[in-house]
Amino acid sequence: QVQLQESGPGLVKPSETLSLTCSVSGGSISTYYWSWIRQPPGKGLEWIGYIYYSGSTNYNSSLKSRVTISVDTSKNQFSLKLSSVTAADTAVYYCARGQLKLSWYFDLWGRGTLVTVSS
């Protein structure tokens, strides 16, 4: 079955860029939408943005100026970059498969990876 796995540094310094990758195994990255969702410690979920396998993207307006999501179909991976991070960006970051055409839900999630922003 299809599985998602996040990877990347667990510690990022303030003002630097957070970079994470989501590897999709057991199925093709094509045909679906792929999202990043985060959860600060003890808080709720926040949708960050999505990318379609073709490369089209859309982002949460509150993060739009700092976010870039990209896809590498040859590696069956998609990635997140969040620039100019602060302590407020400390969170568990999840990658998820989105059913976002004529609907809006996330049916498959990675386990999540904690990213701490600290000097």
Partner 1 sequence: QSALTQPRSVSGSPGQSVTISCTGASSDVGGYNYVSWYQQHPGRAPKLMIYDVTKRPSGVPDRFSGSKSGNTASLTISGLLAEDEADYYCCSYAGGYTGVFGGGTKLTVL
Residues that bind partner 1 (CB under 8 A): 37, 43-47, 50, 58, 60-62, 94, 99-100, 103-107, 109-112
C-beta closer to partner 1: residue 57 or 73: 57
In whole angstroms, how close is the CB of 119 to partner 1 at the nearest point?
27
**CA angle (80, 45, 50) in 5-degree steps:** 35
- List, in order, residues 6 or more apart from 69 with CB less than 8 Å away: 34, 36, 48, 49, 50, 51, 57, 59, 78, 79, 80, 81
C-beta closer to partner 1: residue 23 or 60: 60
In whole angstroms, how close is the CB of 96 to partner 1 at the nearest point?
8
